[in-house]
Amino acid sequence: ELKVEQNPLFLSMQEGKNYTIYCNYSTTSDRLYWYRQDPGKSLESLFVLLSNGAVKQEGRLMASLDTKARLSTLHITAAVHDLSATYFCAVDGSSGGSNYKLTFGKGTLLTVNP
């Protein structure tokens, strides 16, 4: 069974600081996704990472993927309050033949304080 672990689960940061969220997964997979969820809202797709060494950046967020280590990171640079949200990573079940089935981590609740 594919397992996805995120850490930390809770992250409180000050504006202007940098931090990294980690996502480990247990079996090989073709795709890794990062999503943002605001309270009571749906999931907003941030990044789709497809290959080893992939790095994508959007604004203050940068995601990377190491398929050999089965690890993805979401790095936050110079955090601002607007980044406060819950961030999820998700992996598809391609190694088990069910690449349509996303398995999610428990999420990281990020709070950026002024």
Between 77 and 111, whose beta carbon lies closer to other proteins? 111
Question: Which residues, 6 or more positions from 110, have their beta carbon under 8 angstroms from its beta carbon?
Answer: 11, 13, 21, 76, 79, 83, 84, 85, 86, 87
Out of 61, 90, 91, 110, the residue judged to bind other proteins by CB under 8 A: 90
Shortest Å, Cβ 38 to other proteins: 11
Instruction: Quote the longest CA-to-CA distance of the chain.
Output: 46
Out of 18, 52, 57, 98, the residue judged to bind other proteins by CB under 8 A: 98
Tokens of 76: 């936050």
Between 31 and 80, whose beta carbon lies closer to other proteins? 31
x/- track of binding to other proteins for residues 39-78 (CB under 8 A): -xxxx-x--x------------------------------
- What is d(CA 103, CA 91) in angstroms, rounded to the nearest whole number? 5
Per CB under 8 A, the segment of 11-19, 32-40, 53-61, 70-78 that binds other proteins is 32-40
User: Residue 97's Cα: distance from chain center in Å?
Assistant: 23
